[in-house]
Amino acid sequence: MNSPDRISRVLLLCVTLAVLTAALYGRAAEFPFFLLDDADYVTDNSHVLSGLSADSIRWAFTAFHSGNWHPVTWLSLMVDSQLFGITPAGFHLVNVALHAVTSALLLFLLFTMTGALWPSAFAAACFALHPLHVESVAWIAERKDVLSALFLVLTLLGYHRYVRQGGRINYLLSLFSFSLGLMAKPMLVTTPLLLLLLDYWPYYRLDIRLPGMAADLVRTPDGRTTATVRLLLEKGPFLLLAAASSMVTLLAQKPAISGLAQVPFSDRIANALWSLLMYLDKTVLPMDLAVIYPLAALPLWKAGLAAVALLVVSALIFRYGARHRYLVTGWLWFLISLLPVLGFVQVGRQAMADRYSYLPSIGLFIMASWGGAELLRRRPALKRIAVGSALVLLLLLSLVTRHQLGYWQTNEGVLTHALQVTKNNHFALYCLGMVYQQQEKPEQAIVEFRKSVAIEPREPMVHFDLGYLLGNQGMTQEAIAHLQEAIALDPGFAQAHFTLGILLGKLGASNDSIGEFYEALRLEPDNPKFLNNLGVTLAQQGKVNDAIKLFTRALQVNPDDEKARKNMNIALRQKNEARGK
C-alpha cells in the first residue's frame, strides 16, 4: 500500500517533471511550420483551417489524407486552428503540453504498477528529456506521436486498474483509450502484445519458463490461477481493434507503399535489422540525429553484424529474464513497438526516423532504471554515486535536447544539419532546394536540386521542380529534358505534361505543346488551370469554339473562377467579331 505522503511525493514529482519538460521545449513556440507535411496537415489544409464544423468532422473520419487515417489527430489540429488561427506558436505549444503531460502520467503509471518511485521517476525523466524525441515534439505534423502516446499511457492506466481491481468499467475505459490512440496514430497496434508483457512484469500474471518461453499459469486479481488462454481471451477486443486499424491503415497508405520490385524484401530485412541497432545506439548515445535518414541498400556485413548483435543481446536478456523480469518486458517492448515502422511494408523514403523511437524507447528506459535500482540493492554503498550520475545524465540529455531544438528554429537549419550528419541524402537536398524556392532564391534551389538528381536520378518530382525552375530562368532546353525525364519516370504526372506544354509553346512547337496540354487534361479533367490554359492556346489559334467549351467546363467546375469568366468573355467577343466580318 502506498501511504498518503508517498502519493503526495509522486504527484509532486509528476508536476515537477511536467513543468521542467515544458520549460525545456517552450522555445518551440518560436519555430515556424516545417516544410515537410505541415502544409498537408495545417497550412494548406482547408478542412483543418476551417476549425471544428460538421463538414470538417465528417472529413476527419472519412478521409485518407496524406496517406493516413487518424481522425483524432485531425480533430486536435482543428481545435488548434479554431483557437490560434494559422500562427504556428499555438500548434507547437499544444505539442509541448501533450509531451509534458504524457511524461508526468508515465511517471505515475510506472509508480502505480511497480511501487518503485525513483526508478519510475528516472525512466519517465529520460522519456521527457531525451533528444531523440525532439522530432516528435517540435514537428507540428507529428501531433499524432504525442497524442497517441498520451492515449497509450491512459490505456495502460485503465488496464492497471482492471488488473488490480477488476471491473468491466475499468476494462472498457482502457479499451476506449486504446481506440482513441489508434485513431491518433495506428502505430499503437502492438498494444495488445505490450499488455501481455506487462502481465509478465510487473504484474506477474503470466508465468513463463525461460528460455523455452512455455506459458504455464496466470494469476487473476482474486489470487486464483487459470489457464493462459484466459489472458489471451482478455486481449481479444484489443486485438480486434488493432486488426481493424491495420487494415484501414494499409488502405490509406496504399498509394505510398513502395512496390516490391522497387525495394526488394531482402533489402527491407537488412534495413530493419540495421535500424533496430541504430535505434538502440541513438538511444544510448544520441548523436548525429537527423530529420531524414536516406534509404539505401545496405552491405551484407552490416545486416549480419546487426543480426548477431541483436541475437546476443536477446540471448543474454532471456538468460537472466527469469530473475530480472523487467529486462524481458523492457527489451520486448522496444522490439515489438518498432515492428510497424521497420519497413517490412516500405512507406516513404526514410531508412529510419527519430520519431519512430518515441514510444519504443520507454522499454529501454525501464531496463536502465530498474537495472540501476537492482545494482543499488546489491551495492548500497554506490547510492550517492548512482544518484549523482543519474542527475548528470538527465542534465546532459537536457542540454543535448536544447541543442537539437536549436536546429528547428528554421527549415534551413533542420535540413542543413541533416545533410551534415548523413551521406548521400538526396531527399534532404531536394527539401533544402524547396526551402530556397519558397525563399525566392531560384539559383540556390537549382544547385540543391541538381545535387539531389545526381545522387538519385529516379525521383520524378525532383526532375519536375528542377525543370520548372530552369524554365523560369530561361534555360529552356535543359528544363524540357528534366520534364521529359519526370514524365518517363511517371507517365501520369499531369503537372509535368502541362509545364512541358508551356515550354514547348515558347519554342514554337505548338502542336507538341497542345498535345501535352491535352494529356494533362486527360489525367486531370477538372483542373481549372489546365482548362483555362488550353482554352487560351486554342483561342489564339482561332479554334474559338473549342476554347469556349473548355472555359464552359472550367466554370462548371468552379462558377467563381474569374479567370475562366474573363477568358470566356474574350472568346465570345472574338467569335462575334469573326461573325461580323
- For 184-240, the pLDDT digits (tens) are 999 999 999 999 999 999 999 987 654 444 344 444 444 444 457 889 999 999 999
Q: What is residue 202's predicted lDDT score, i.e. its pLDDT?
A: 96
Distance CA 284, CA 131 (A): 11
**How far out from the chain centre does Cα 234 lie?**
30
Among the listed residues 346, 347, 327, the one whose alpha carbon sits nearest the alpha carbon of residue 335: 327
Q: What is residue 188's predicted lDDT score, i.e. its pLDDT?
A: 97
Q: What is residue 426's predicted lDDT score, i.e. its pLDDT?
A: 96
The mean pLDDT of 270-298, rounded to a whole number, is: 94
Mean pLDDT of all residues belonging to the chain: 91
Q: Kindly state the cell numbers that stand for 345.
A: 511494408
Q: What is residue 54's predicted lDDT score, i.e. its pLDDT?
A: 95
Structure-model confidence comparison of residues 123 and 383, the more confident one: 123
Q: How many CA atoms lie within 13 A of 495 on its CB side?
A: 8
Q: What is residue 253's predicted lDDT score, i.e. its pLDDT?
A: 80
- For 288-301, the pLDDT digits (tens) are 999 999 988 889 99
Write the DSSP assignment of 200-236 as a string of letters.
Answer: HTTS--EEEETTTTEEEEEE-TTS-EEETHHHHHHTH
Distance CA 377, CA 212 (A): 29
Q: Are residues 422 and 338 in the same domain?
A: no
The mean pLDDT of 315-337, rounded to a whole number, is: 94
Buried b (16+ CB within 10 A) or exposed e, 279-309: bbebbeebeebbbbbbbeebeeeebeebbee
Q: What is residue 201's predicted lDDT score, i.e. its pLDDT?
A: 95
Contacts of 341 (CB under 8 A, 6+ apart): 187, 353, 356
- For 518-539, the pLDDT digits (tens) are 999 999 999 989 999 898 888 8
Residue 377: inside a domain: yes
Structure-model confidence comparison of residues 206 and 52, the more confident one: 52
Residue 238: inside a domain: yes
Residue 93: inside a domain: yes
Q: Are residues 360 and 431 in the same domain?
A: no
Structure-model confidence comparison of residues 333 and 382, the more confident one: 333
Q: Are residues 437 and 355 in the same domain?
A: no
Q: What is residue 216's predicted lDDT score, i.e. its pLDDT?
A: 42
Q: Are residues 399 and 451 in the same domain?
A: no
> Could you write out the three-class secondary structure of 75-136?
HHHHHHHHHHCCCHHHHHHHHHHHHHHHHHHHHHHHHHHHCCHHHHHHHHHHHHHCHHHHHH
Q: Are residues 178 and 75 in the same domain?
A: yes
Q: Kindly state the cell numbers that stand for 117.
A: 518511485
Residue 333: inside a domain: yes
Q: Which of 221-225, 340-344, 423-427, 462-466 is predicted with the least confidence, judged by mean pLDDT?
A: 221-225
Residue 259: inside a domain: no
Q: Are residues 420 and 372 in the same domain?
A: no
Percent of the chain at pLDDT > 70 equals 93
Q: Are residues 400 and 425 in the same domain?
A: no
Structure-model confidence comparison of residues 428 and 297, the more confident one: 428
Q: Are residues 457 and 391 in the same domain?
A: no
Q: Are residues 423 and 487 in the same domain?
A: yes
Residue 418: inside a domain: yes
Q: Are residues 276 and 349 in the same domain?
A: yes
Q: Are residues 509 and 397 in the same domain?
A: no
Q: Are residues 25 and 97 in the same domain?
A: yes
Number of domains in the chain: 2
The mean pLDDT of 465-469, rounded to a whole number, is: 97
Q: What is residue 257's predicted lDDT score, i.e. its pLDDT?
A: 61
Residue 527: inside a domain: yes
Looking at 409, 442, 470, the residue that finishes a domain is 409
Residue 552: inside a domain: yes
Looking at 392, 409, 426, the residue that finishes a domain is 409
Domain holding 554, by residue range, is: 412-580
Looking at 386, 409, 432, the residue that finishes a domain is 409
pLDDT above 90 (res 310)? yes
